[in-house]
Amino acid sequence: MDPFSQLILTISVTSFLTFQWLFHKVSPWMSMRISPGFFGLSDKQKVEWNSRTVSTLHALLVGIFCLYILFFDDAVNEDPVWGDPTLVKTNVAITTGYLISDLLLIFYYWKAIGDKFFVVHHLAALYAYYYVLGQGTLPYFANFRLLAEFSTPCVNQRWFFEVLGYPKSSRPNMANGVAMAVVFFMVRIAVMPVYYSRMYAVYGTEAFYLVPWGGRVAWICSSICLDIMNIMWMHKIARGCYKVLRSARQSKAGTPQENGKTD
């Protein structure tokens, strides 16, 4: 095994152990001090709370790394299929460690956070990352996909507000809902033309055919399936956001009697 592959393996293992430590030690300790409502949660809710806290930390770390690569890694941006994958591999190795850690927690705490969809999602992602880590292929597209992690903190925060009993019409909940809709649209929907234009530009080229058949399937098919789901989720998020904002506006306006008006 070459030194760089050993480094990537070390990063993945370190990432796995770090996220386990964050789940079991850091999140409970931090949550008890930041949110008094944590004490009133059931054991199952505390498991999911810690899981989502770790998920948020991972999303922020990986998302910021993604932006750096997108704006400053010229090798990857100039050659999206075979560009120098050093930084992308490092970022993907962090995510790989997180996904394996999360899978372990899902299986161990199945009654609390077990979800077949997440198991399939994590396994599919790990399959795709194999080609990035093992063969250094498609670094630009792997990095671009990880930008979607920026929507995760808002999604998790929505659950935190719900379990703490915040009304949907409360200002923090509405602000987070609007932020979730905007960020989700920006990192999962608005970027589609850029992503698929780069895919179209390399499709059929020599570099494209050098990618193993399995890698091409994982790349193209997973991209299309994920974006179909993203469009469906965006529709639901937009509808939910509109309903909450409309309800809050009507509640604020009140009835004629509440406004001191009579017929």
Res 196: pLDDT: 96
| 144 pLDDT above the threshold of 60 | yes
Where residue 165 falls (left for φ over 0; alpha for ψ -120 to 50; beta otherwise) is left
Rounded distance between C-alpha atoms, residue 219 and residue 208, angstroms: 11
Q: Is the confidence at residue 262, as pLDDT, over 50?
A: no
- The model's pLDDT over 14-70, given as tens digits with 9 standing for 90+, comes to 999 999 999 999 999 999 999 999 999 999 999 999 999 999 999 999 999 999 999
pLDDT at 79 over 50: yes
Q: Is the pLDDT of residue 261 over 50?
A: no
In angstroms, the CA 198 to CA 57 distance is 29
Please check the confidence at residue 257 and state whether its pLDDT lies above 70. Answer: no
pLDDT score recorded for residue 252 = 65
What is the band of 254 on the pLDDT scale with cuts at 50, 70, 90?
Answer: low
How many of the other CB atoms lie within 10 Å of CB of 165? 9
Tell me what the mean pLDDT of segment 196-209 comes to: 94
**pLDDT at 109 exceeding the cut of 90:** yes
| Residue 226 confidence (pLDDT) | 86
Residue 216: partners with Cβ closer than 8 Å, 6 or more residues away: 208
| pTM metric for this prediction | 0.89
Instruction: Please report the pLDDT score of residue 1 as a whole number.
Output: 55
As given in the structure block, the two tokens for residue 99 are 């996904």
In this structure, what are the phi and psi dihedrals at residue 135, rounded to the nearest 5 degrees?
Answer: -125, -5
pLDDT score, position 260: 47
Cα–Cα distance, 68 to 84 (Å, whole number): 15
**pLDDT number for residue 263:** 41
Cα dihedral sign, 104-109-110-114: negative
Q: In whole angstroms, what is the distance from residue 39 CA to residue 31 CA?
A: 9
With contact defined as beta carbons under 8 Å apart, do 256 and 262 qualify? yes
Mean pLDDT of the chain: 91
Closest CA to 194 of 221, 227, 232: 227
Average pLDDT over residues 64-86: 94
Q: State the Cα–Cα distance between residues 134 and 111, nearest whole angstrom.
A: 34
